[in-house]
Amino acid sequence: MTTKLNYHPDNAMLVDFSAGTLDTAPSICVSAHLHFCEACRTELLSLNEIGAQLMAKATAVAIDDAALDSALDAVMAAIDQPQPVKPAVKDQPASSGFPFSIGKLIANAESTLTWKRLTSSVDIAQFKTGQKVFEVALHKICAGGKTPKHDHNGVEYTVVLKGSFSDERAVYKEGDFLMRQPGDVHQPMGAQNGECICLSALAAPIKLSNPLGFLMKPWLRINPM
């Protein structure tokens, strides 16, 4: 699983991720990439160190002894309370080998995660993520399947979770992380040797560059949830 990957989130994204300042949807995508990428996991250990040092070297707020003791008592009392047992994330056969966060989203969806046919070769299943900026979804491209050529109105992040796909520029393998900006026209194609599943977070509707694109209307719908 830890093969060397070619496409990573840029450093600014990793810094924002390590500081907790990255939005939920791109954070889901970064976490999916980390599942496959040892190099980025290692880099994040060092980036966390920056936050820790800044926290540790900052001027500590003076808390007087009495206040500190009573705060400690409150915490001690809380830890003696029996903890509610969180239900374990069910192991879904559908998500085996998938990143933890994606497994949890699939488990959360239970019966509501539904695959919808988008085109003859692409199915989509949308996730509820509790934010309204990005549409987060799985895309499944069948072996050798062609997707419509499209542009983006907003930024799109994609992480390959299973199989591989290619576009005019390159072949993308499991774990590869891609960012597409408005103006990046591309036409992804599923690999011949098996279906490809990608995670994507899309900020705004993508527009088709094909004049007959209106026939592909489902592409235009975006539904952050």
Partner 1 sequence: MFLKKEEIVDKQTEKNSRVAVLNLAGKRSDQWSLMLVSVGENRDRQAFAQLFKHFAPLLKSFAQASRHEGWFPGLSEDLVQEVMIKVWQKAAGYNPEKASATTWIYTVARNCRIDMLRRKSNTQHLPLENEDFWHEPDEETPVTLLRQKRSEEKVQASLAQLPKEQDEILRKVYLEGKSHAEASNELGLPLGTVKSRVRLALQKMQILVAPEFQDELLNDH
Binding stretches for partner 1 (CB under 8 A): 1-2, 4-5, 8, 11-12, 15-22, 24, 27-28, 30-31, 34-43, 45-63, 68, 71-72, 74-76, 78-79, 83, 99-101, 104-105, 108, 127-131
Minimum CB distance to partner 1, residue 133 (Å): 12
Based on CB atoms, which residue is closest to partner 1, 188 or 224? 224
User: Where are the alpha helices (H) located in 37-166, listed in sequence order?
Assistant: 38-57, 65-80, 100-109
CA separation for the pair 186, 151 (Å, rounded): 7
Q: How far is the CB of 209 from partner 1 (least distance, A)?
A: 27
100-109 and 24-36 helices, crossing angle to 10°: 120
Nearest distance, CB of residue 69 and partner 1, angstroms: 9
Residues in Cβ contact with 123 at an 8 Å cutoff, skipping those fewer than 6 apart = 115, 116, 117, 139, 140
- CB of 145 closer than 8 Å to CB of 122: yes
Least distance to partner 1, CB of residue 124, Å: 18
How far is 30 from 94, CA to CA, in rounded Å? 21
C-beta of 84 vs 211, nearer to partner 1: 84
Shorter beta-carbon distance to partner 1: residue 65 or 211: 65
> Is the CB of residue 147 less than 8 Å from the CB of residue 200?
no
Q: CB nearer to partner 1: give 67 or 215.
A: 67
- Which is closer to partner 1, CB of 51 or CB of 218? 51
Give how far Cα 27 sits from Cα of 54, 83, 97, 220, Å: 22, 28, 19, 24
Report CA-CA distances (Å) from 197 to 81, 117, 175, 192: 43, 14, 11, 13
Residue 25: Cβ-neighbour burial (10 angstroms; 0-12, 13-18, 19+) = buried
CB of 80 to partner 1, least distance (A): 10
* Closer of 28 and 124 to partner 1 (Cβ): 28
